[in-house]
Amino acid sequence: MSAIRSFDELVVRLSQCERRTRVAVVNAVDVGTVDALCEALRYGFAEAILVGLQPDDALLKKFAPYREYVRQIVVEGEDEAATRAVELVRNGEADVLMKGLLHTDNLLRAVLNKEQGLLPRGNVLSHITLAEIPNFSRLLFFTDVAVIPTPTAEQRVWQVRYVDKLCRAFQIESPRIALVHFTEKVSPKFPLTLEYRALVEEAQKGQWGTTVIDGPLDVRTAVDSAALQTKGIDSPLQGLADALVMPNLETGNAFYKSITFFAHATVAGILQGTTHPVVLTSRGDNSRSKFLSIATAAISIQ
């Protein structure tokens, strides 16, 4: 199958799948979450299990056309609802966990619960964002804008592993992963560049299969072939990176905010490291973004 290079292609691919992804959503009582779920139901790739508070009548009415694929479990309390939804995922009744209208902390507490949560001991929790940017020819994956402030070398290996796997779920056969810095020079002055180099050398030795890893590169030499040429830099990514691994959360966050606000990017996001996909959207996200996050979760387990 050819690689999925846009969100439209993602949705088309999912709507051709036989299997519906069962989404356990906590407190689907805001219009953004409900619209996102209904869109996934309309395209036929999801089932919804509404856990927690009961949506009001106007919102419930939106689910009417998809009644056979919607189930309700009324639970009072954010912690209780989150715990119940996690339980559904753990016992195989749902495939994906999704946050509706509740505090992120309350959802995460249930996800991270050592006995009854979704994060296996030893796994590193991280996050991947996907962006479709006007006039840019492909989906751009990047990590991490949400979880790890300053990744250690070991955490970074996990981040690369996660983004590699998600790229492959999008049928990208040789994911091109850029390790982002402000310089292209490897130097002991900036220890991060040495960490990057170690990863690049692993990839050169074939330890990452067909995945191509390069860095340090800046955002532009990672994704813009012309800029790479102008700077006279040789990179196996050729300015065609599929994914950017950010040096720290400040950089990831600023990148996220600038492409969404100034470049009008459409984004989707998904937690990494959990046994099952977790869609953790924020209040600022519109329903399209929440819908595309469900789609990303769905494709990652097809």
Report the interface residues with a second copy, using CB under 8 A.
133, 136, 145, 149, 180-182, 190, 218-220, 223-224, 227, 230-231, 246-255, 257-263, 265, 283-284
In the complex, the smallest distance separating the C-beta of residue 9 from a second copy, rounded to whole angstroms, is 20
In angstroms, the Cα distances linking 227 to 139, 174, 258, 262 are: 19, 22, 19, 20
Supply the minimum distance, in Å, between the C-beta of residue 136 and a second copy: 7
Cβ-based nearer residue to a second copy, 92 or 149:
149
Considering beta carbons, is residue 175 or 252 the nearer one to a second copy? Answer: 252
Query: Which C-beta is closer to a second copy: that of 200 or that of 246?
Result: 246
Q: Are 73 and 84 in contact (CB under 8 A)?
A: yes
Query: Based on the number of CB atoms within 10 Å of its own CB, is 249 exposed (0-12), middle (13-18) or buried (19 or more)?
Result: middle
CB of 67 to a second copy, least distance (A): 32
Of 204, 200, 276, whose CA–CA distance to 21 is shortest?
276
Cis peptide before 188, with omega less than 30 degrees from 0?
no
Which residues are CB-neighbours of 16 under 8 A, at least 6 positions away? none
Closer Cβ to a second copy, 91 or 135, answer by number? 135
| Residue 298 CB, nearest approach to a second copy (Å) | 27
- Closer to a second copy by Cβ: residue 252 or 273: 252
Quick one: DSSP state of residue 25?
Answer: E
Nearer to a second copy, 141 or 255 (CB): 255
Could you tell me the smallest distance in angstroms from the CB atom of residue 255 to a second copy?
5
User: Do the beta carbons of residue 110 and residue 85 sit within 8 Å?
Assistant: yes
In the complex, least distance from residue 17 CB atom to a second copy, rounded to whole angstroms: 31
CB of 292 to a second copy, least distance (A): 18
The HSE-up count of residue 177 (CA atoms within 13 Å, CB side) is 35
Q: Do residues 106 and 79 make contact, with C-beta atoms less than 8 angstroms apart?
A: yes
Q: Which is nearer to a second copy, 145 or 294 (CB)?
A: 145
Give whichever of 21 and 289 is closer to a second copy, judged by the CB atom. Answer: 289
CB of 142 to a second copy, least distance (A): 10
Query: Between β-strands 21-26 and 96-99, what pairing exists: parallel, antiparallel or unpaired?
Result: parallel
Q: DSSP for 142-207?
A: EE-SSS-SS--HHHHHHHHHHHHHHHHHTT-SS-EEEEE-S-S---TTSHHHHHHHHHHHHHHTTT
- Alpha carbon distance 254, 245 (integer Å): 14
